[in-house]
Amino acid sequence: MSNINVGIVGMVPLESIIVDDRAREVMGDLDALEANIKESGLIAPLAVMEIEDGTFRLLAGERRYTILKRNGVEMVPARIYDYELPEIEMKIIEKSENFFRKDMEWWELDKLTLEITRIQQELKGVKAPGPSAPGWSLKDTGEMIGGVSTFTVSQSIHRAEVREKFPDLFDSCRTASDATKVIKKMDEALIKHAIAEDIASKKGNKSITELSKTFIIKNFFEGVKDIPNGVFHLVEIDPPYGIDLRDTKKSDGESQYQMEEYNEVPKSTYMQGDGKDWLGMDEVFKQSYRTMADHSWLICWFGPEPWFTDIFNSIIKAGFETTRMCGIWTKRTGQTKQPETKLANAYEMFFYAWKGRPALNKQGHSNIFDYPPVPSAGKSHPTERPVDLMQDLYETFAFPGSRVFIPFLGSGNGLLAAHALGLSALGFELSKGYKDSFLVKAHNMISK
């Protein structure tokens, strides 16, 4: 026997329908919907609750109601609730029905997600731990609104809660992703301030203070002059790529705030340098070799198109041995600017090279490192790699107690990976903004 209550469907006078405050604040493209109704008719009836005085309260279908009213329709089909509904159930009907309207604004959907969760938890209580415990959870909300993940529900609720308190901050946000980035910046700003005060007062977390000292704001070519010969057991180089990354990331939809402080290098000076701030990849490998201990490893990420041969030859020229059988980071998902002619690229390559005769710590590890990338909304740097990837990489090449040098720190995730493994590490970066974001991540990681 069916558990679905189909209720009563009948014709009601449009003028007898009362419209109270509704969830939808932006009606969207009513003209397109009106044209569709005129062509195909009214497919879905309104939902109303009958009131004792002979009027009806609108529960769902405000856009359809608006179009029918402005076209002078007198009688309309409706799903009629002929019994008194609690206020909370009327809200659930309205909000659930509205959720499946694809033309709602992102912030309306966020608000609905929050309100549905609040209403259901008010009605049924907050779900306690345990699979059979009573109550309502974020997972229940996700299932109710179409199989949305708990993480997505949580993000929507967080955006809606922050927007309730600071609506003006979101005026320029066109998408939910934009709003998430605004909140991320807010959260980072608060944590940055707290960390800066702690470090200045020397009362903060000792680990964060020490990590802050290893993230050095300085041009690599200047900073490396102060490093003596033969110090490091592993050097991991993630240099500028010399591939017009700013334009590439823009066309791929990368958040532009991630690119604001990114320092790209022109192709014309990439290998030999400009004689000023950028002295070239040849000099990077030369100085790296000098600072490395006997029997040590070098890792270098690079853009294979067009730099594969140039980078390979430069590594050899600096005195290293290496192989063209590169290490591969597989990302599981790919991107392409030309899907009609180019396969989506789902991997990045790195050369691994050696000075002397070092041994691998993880002997037998394949040249494949399979990890999903950092989600765009969670990035602080356009070429940021996940910490767990970097941990696997460092642990493969470096023994416990090794010293790691990262000439171009970027997001600083290499420092976090080294810290988690108990390795000593330091590096250089030009952007203070990236260091601030790094300290926020360090705080979050260490506080867990």
Residue 220 sits in the same domain as residue 200: no
Structural domain includes residue 37: yes
Residue 93 lies in a domain: no
Show which of 180, 204, 228 is a domain's final residue.
204
- Cα 166 to chain centroid distance, Å, stands at 22
Residue-range definition of the domain harbouring residue 138: 105-204
222 is a domain residue:
yes
Same-domain pairing of 39 and 149: no
Q: Are residues 219 and 197 in the same domain?
A: no
pLDDT of residue 132: 76
| Residue 419 resides in a domain | yes
| Same domain (yes/no): 304, 356 | yes
Q: Is residue 95 part of a domain?
A: no
What's the Cα-to-Cα distance from 391 to each of 109, 202, 228, 239, rounded to whole Å? Answer: 38, 29, 26, 19
Give the Å distances, CA to CA, from 337 to 223, 250, 262, 341, 357. 37, 10, 21, 9, 42
Q: How far apart are CA 324 and CA 73, in angstroms?
A: 74
The DSSP bridge pattern shows strands 17-18 and 56-60 to be parallel
Give domain status of residue 306, yes or no: yes
pLDDT class of 104 with cuts at 50, 70, 90:
low
104 φ/ψ sector (left φ>0, alpha ψ -120 to 50, else beta)? beta
**Residue found under tokens 């250089």:** 428
Alpha carbons 222 and 279: distance in angstroms, whole number: 10
Nearest Cα residue to 292 out of 220, 362, 236: 236
The reported pLDDT for the residue numbered 46 is 83
Let me know whether 312 and 349 are in one domain.
yes
- Percent of residues, the chain, with pLDDT higher than 70: 83
Considering the chain, what percentage of its residues have pLDDT values greater than 90?
Answer: 38
In this structure, the answer to whether residues 113 and 45 fall within a common structural domain is: no
Above 80 in pLDDT, residue 294?
Answer: yes
Please tell me the distance from the alpha carbon of residue 27 to that of residue 42, in angstroms, as a whole number. Answer: 17
End-to-end Cα, the chain, rounded Å: 50
Domain contains 154: yes
Identify the CATH number of the domain in which residue 230 sits. 3.40.50.150
Q: Quick one: how many helices (H) and strands (E) in the chain?
A: 16, 14
- pLDDT the model gives residue 433: 84
Q: Are residues 273 and 396 both part of a single domain?
A: yes
pLDDT tens per residue across span 105-158: 888 888 888 888 888 888 888 888 777 788 888 988 888 776 778 888 898 898
Question: Is position 92 within any domain?
Answer: no
* Rounded mean pLDDT, 263-275: 89
Domain limit, last residue, from 149, 169, 204: 204
Q: Strand 345-355 to strand 327-335: parallel, antiparallel, or no bridges (unpaired)?
A: antiparallel
Considering the domain architecture, whether residues 47 and 148 belong to the same structural domain is answered as no
163 and 220 share one domain: no
Number of domains in the chain: 3
Strand pairing category for 403-406 and 368-370? unpaired
Residue whose tokens read 């608006």: 66
Q: Please state the φ and ψ torsions of residue 2, each to the nearest 5 degrees.
A: -70, 145
> What is the residue type of 68?
L
Q: What would the DSSP string read from start to end of 261-283?
A: T-----GGGTTT--SSS---HHH
pLDDT score, position 204: 62
Pick from 397, 411, 314: nearest CA to 359: 397
Whether 171 contacts 158, CB under 8 Å: no
Asked if the peptide bond before residue 45 counts as cis, ω within 30 degrees of 0, the response is: no
| Residue 251 pLDDT level (bands cut at 50, 70, 90) | very low
pLDDT band at 252 (very low <50, low <70, confident <90, very high): very low
244 and 124 in one domain?
no
- Does residue 267 share a domain with residue 186? no
Is the domain of 114 the same as that of 23?
no
Q: What is the CATH number of the domain that holds 67?
A: 3.90.1530.10
**3-class DSSP state of 67:** helix
